[in-house]
Amino acid sequence: MKLGIYGGTFNPPHIGHLITAESVREQFKLDKVIFVPSFSPPHKFDLQIALPNQRFEMLDLAIKSNRSFSATDLEIKREGKSYTIDTINSLLQSYQNSKLYLIIGMDNLIDFPNWKSPLEIVNKVELVVMNRPGYDLEARNKYTRYANIIRVPNIDISSTDIRRRVKMGRSIKYLVPNEVEQYIFKKGLYKS
């Protein structure tokens, strides 16, 4: 089985996440893409991070219509800082006969040398790097040779902008799935 691993804060999950994940799934003929919301992202210090269980619930709502998508709360249950290598090791135990594809953006590849155990990561999974608005696909570091750099639709939607729009009382319609929009307003997220 070929499994894509798509980690992130998903604060909130948006249409860009879904479109790019589907594009990667299609290009690599993946059987499934597993979304992995972090408990506490090690490189983000945003005070507007929704609770981990809220982000997982929003993600579950966002992906429910695609049978090829699933989500795991293993990083949320683990608590503490979320390191990709720990998640990969857990997933390799659960999916022993599967090939894992770690899906990241070009911004993550640039920062990849600063991740915990980057060499171990690339020795255990296929690294799939997606283009991101504002990032050069020609950017290089010593891990680029391990990367499958691919083009996905350039969806210029960010969770940061969505949170800002909610705080300002502006519409987020069509930026997030309808169920996620309803959840955000029902729970009063990102207002302050």
**Would 175 be classed as within a structural domain?**
no
Please enumerate in sequence order all residues whose Cβ is within 8 A of that of 14, keeping only pairs 6 or more positions apart, or say none.
62, 157, 158, 159, 162, 175, 176, 180
Q: What angle do CA 132, 138, 141 make, to 5 degrees?
A: 100
Mean pLDDT of the region 90-114:
95
For the chain, the domain total comes to 1
Residues in the chain: 192
Any residues with CB less than 8 A from the CB of 79 and at least 6 apart, and which? 39, 40
**Is residue 93 a part of any domain in this protein?**
yes
Find the mean pLDDT for residues 27-39: 96
Bridge partners (DSSP) of residue 127 are: 102, 147
- Higher-confidence residue of 136 and 46: namely 136
Classify residue 165: in a domain, yes or no. Answer: no
CATH of the domain at 11: 3.40.50.620
Within-domain flag for 167: no
The whole-number pLDDT of residue 138 equals 74
Of the candidates 133, 127, 81, which has an alpha carbon nearest to the alpha carbon of residue 107?
A: 133
Question: pLDDT tens for residues 48-100?
Answer: 789 999 999 999 999 999 999 999 999 999 988 889 999 999 999 999 999 99
CA distances to 43, 95, 131, 160, 165 from 24, rounded to whole Å, are: 24, 20, 11, 23, 28
pLDDT of residue 42: 59
Q: Is pLDDT above 60 for 137?
A: yes
Q: What is the 3-state secondary structure (H, E, C) of 50-105?
A: CCHHHHHHHHHHHHCCCCCEEECCHHHHHCCECCHHHHHHHHHHHCCCCEEEEEEE
Residue 105 lies inside a defined structural domain of this protein: yes
Q: What percent of the chain is modeled with pLDDT above 70?
A: 96
β-pair partners for 149: 129
Tokens of 170: 């502006």
Residue 44's pLDDT is what? 56
Only one residue has tokens 């296929």, namely: 126
Distance CA 24, CA 70 (A): 15
Domain that holds residue 30: 2-156
pLDDT band at 140 (very low <50, low <70, confident <90, very high): confident
